[in-house]
Amino acid sequence: MNPTPPPSPAGWRKPAIRALKAAVAVLVFWGVGRHVARTWDELSRDGATPRIEPWWLALSGLAYLIGLVLCGAFYRDVLTASPTPIGLFPAVRAYLISHLGKYVPGKAVVVVMRAALSTPYGARASTSAVATFYETLVMMASGALIAALIFASGGDSPVIALDREVLGFREVRAFVLFALIAGGLSAAFLTVVAPPVFRRLAGVFARKVPGMGVDALSDFTWGLMARGLALTGISWLFLGLSQVAAAKGLSGMGSPELDLTVIPVAVASVALATVAGFVVAVAPGGLGVRESVLMYALGPAFGPGRAVAAALMLRLVWVAVEALAALVLGPLGRPAKPNEPESEAVAAEVLQESVPMSEAP
């Protein structure tokens, strides 16, 4: 009697991947739900009693969505420079939906989701992972650079007393300190995304991942980097406008009226806060770090009470936009072909080497 042959890898692979998909979905929606509940609780505990203006909050969400689409367009540009390009709609769709993955601790889920959403349209999962890293790092570089330039231009801000004398100073303006921090961060990120440096890093990464070679990488050029800095730079403008609209949506707080003059400070504050949340990755989605920077940086222009409430409201608006975009765009995707390699399995191999770089904003 012949012994029963062991199950083939294909026999258990599909059920395992379906289970992985279900587990990721549960983690994503659990993370988002917990995040929304915690943020709303913080807003209530602050003691402010704002009157909510829904149309301003809707405008805030629209501005945020436009900013994300611009970054998604750059993600498409990075894939276009690779051997496996995809169209604008699938790239933006993958970019928007994968944003929900940042609320799962570790944030590596962003890379898995984006790869899984991109491969049905012809992208390689490994190429998508590297494109995700590059898009994220370029966005951080442009955000830090914009924040440094705006804060360095001056303006009234609180004075911070230093514990010890630094370069002859015992106190410093908050905006000057923000400019110095943002300037240092922009120099670091710009160095990493410079084509000679990133090509070297990506090549090392490609050689470490089984089945991936340098032939799968995009052609990282100075032109691609410049296009990314331009697109993500415009994106930061819309993210700053989203913050202003969120603040306008909170009236009745005894704060001064907001006009166009607050836009530069809002853009710089959102940019620095988001980059800080990326660098100091203590919680999913930069929770806590981003709000802390926003509350302090927005105070001089928005008033202390409105700055606190607006920073927390911005989180709620952005999470709502990300969840709504995923719900609308999810059913519009192309299903994977039966004979197509499972992108999640490939992405899992990529993530064994990519977790330190996968802190997407």
Domain range list for the chain = 52-357
Classify 211 in phi/psi space as left (phi over 0), alpha (psi -120 to 50) or beta: left
User: What is the spatial distance between Cα 264 and Cα 297, in angstroms, rounded to a whole number?
Assistant: 12
The CB density around residue 144, as the number of other CB atoms within 10 Å, is 27
Q: Are 143 and 271 in contact (CB under 8 A)?
A: yes
Distance CA 332, CA 140 (A): 30
Query: Secondary structure of the chain in the HEC alphabet?
Result: CCCCCCCCHHHHHHHHHHHHHHHHHHHHHHHHHHHHHHHHHHHHHCCCCCEECHHHHHHHHHHHHHHHHHHHHHHHHHHHCCCCCCCHHHHHHHHHHHHHHHHCCCCCHHHHHHHHHHHHHCCCHHHHHHHHHHHHHHHHHHHHHHHHHHHHCCCCCCEEEEEEEECCEEEEEHHHHHHHHHHHHHHHHHHHHCHHHHHHHHHHHHHHCCCCCHHHCCCCCHHHHHHHHHHHHHHHHHHHHHHHHHHHCEECCCCCCCCHHHHHHHHHHHHHHHHHHHHCCCCHHHCCHHHHHHHHHHHHHHCHHHHHHHHHHHHHHHHHHHHHHHHHHHHHCCCCCCCCCCHHHHHHHHHHHHHHHCCCC
What pLDDT does residue 143 have?
Answer: 96
Do 129 and 347 touch, CB atoms closer than 8 A? yes
Q: What is the pLDDT along the chain (361 residues), one digit of tens a residue?
A: 445 544 444 455 556 655 665 565 566 556 545 655 655 565 566 555 567 788 999 999 999 999 999 999 999 999 999 888 999 999 999 999 998 887 776 557 788 888 888 988 988 888 888 899 899 999 999 999 999 999 888 765 544 444 444 344 434 466 777 888 899 999 999 999 999 999 888 877 767 665 566 667 888 999 999 999 999 999 999 999 999 999 888 765 555 567 778 889 899 999 999 998 888 765 555 555 677 778 777 877 777 677 778 888 888 899 999 999 999 998 887 665 443 443 444 444 444 544 444 444 5
What's the CA gap between 172 and 158, in Å, rounded?
9
pTM: 0.78
d(CA 141, CA 137): 6
pLDDT at residue 340, as a whole number: 44
Q: What pLDDT shows up at residue 328?
A: 92
